[in-house]
Amino acid sequence: MAFDLPPPAPGSSPLPPAPPVSRRVRPSVMLVIVVGAVAWIAGLTGAIFGGQLSDWLDRPPTRGSDEPLRVGEARDAGAARLDVAAVADYVAPTVVTISADVSGGTSLGTGLIISSKGEILTNAHVIENASEIRVRLAGESEPRRVNLIAADRGNDLALLRMSGDGYESAIFADPESVRIGDEVIAIGFALGLDGEPSVTLGIVSALDRTIGQGNVYLDGLIQTDAAISSGNSGGPLVNAAGEVVGINTAVARDTLTTSATNVSFAISTTEALPIIEALRAQADGVEREEAYFGVGLADRTDGGQGVVVSSVEEDTPAANAGVVAGDLIVAVDGAATDGSAGLIAAIRDHNAGDPVTITIVREGDPIDMTVTLTSRPGQ
């Protein structure tokens, strides 16, 4: 099975000027990240970056707000049968279409309003390298300009903000309430089609999935069989209570040797909520330093546990701790490591300066090493 970040849904010509702020918001377009063996969109490195767009007359805010995110209470949200029409109507005012001007055209995706002060969450790949970003709200015919506050490319999330306040905002589900088998719906503008957003029904197929390719590794993902298409990325995956359980991000693609049917992935609220706060902090001048280990990795082909160290860079945390090529890394902080994607995600979840315990196997003997991570060179 292959995973990749497909190109954005094709867009249209430049959009007209933004209208005055209104309180209603219209559902949005989302881009699908196909997760797998093909290529991820170039430049997804995991670092948080800040962005400021063109100098507009009605300039949106350039910082995140301090408004608390809305999170539902822990409860059995999957017990009730999901009323698709009712939930879609309830969530629709918080979903927006995103149109980003990029080299050679327009990238279309979906976003989610997460605060009354106009903050919008989407996938980083939707707005990557955009010179200008606009959103269209539910019930509106004209788009409005937004600013990029910050983005975390490695976690594939970005925070935007539009002018005004009083917007309806989404409610996030308590992370502990999500269960395998829960009914969910994915909302977004599949293929960038005009009109209302598409709504697809599915279930939570699995939790805590990890996918990766190149420099991008996503962990803690929700797997669902709700259909997701290009143009849907950044849209919400919603439970029976109308609460957001994840941000639709990727789909599995068929390859020459494997087939994938209705295998989609969403960034869970467990992962998304702290990233949102980190993006808000970055916009206020506090930038996260990405943790760095300093090894090359190769996945095992015999189905065994662990990841093989193929190379070790000089003067890095790994080299200083005594890691050598040929070592087999089997755990990080006591948690088993089954592949390079999981190991890289585990390192990425730490900050520069954090100590971690790496368990390796060398010539059949297990060895625990304490490694102090540093920031990535050049960051």
Catalytic annotation, residues = 125, 156, 233
At 322 the three-state DSSP class reads coil
Query: In the structure encoding, which two tokens stand for residue 202, read together?
Result: 């599915």
Q: d(Cα 38, Cα 36) in Å, to the nearest integer? A: 6
Q: Which residues partner with 248 through β-bridges?
A: 266
Which is nearest to 23 in space by CA: 122, 139, 194? Answer: 139
- Total residue count of the chain as it appears in this document: 379
Candidates 374, 300, 302; CA nearest to 343 is: 300
Token pair for residue 6?
């497909």
Residue appearing with tokens 């662990």: 306
| Alpha carbon distance 45, 241 (integer Å) | 35
Measured between alpha carbons, how far is residue 229 from residues 214, 252, 253, 285 in Å?
22, 11, 11, 35
Pairing of strands 198-213, 144-152: unpaired
**100 Cβ contact partners less than 8 Å away, ≥ 6 residues apart:** 8, 106, 107, 108, 109, 126, 127, 130, 132, 133, 134
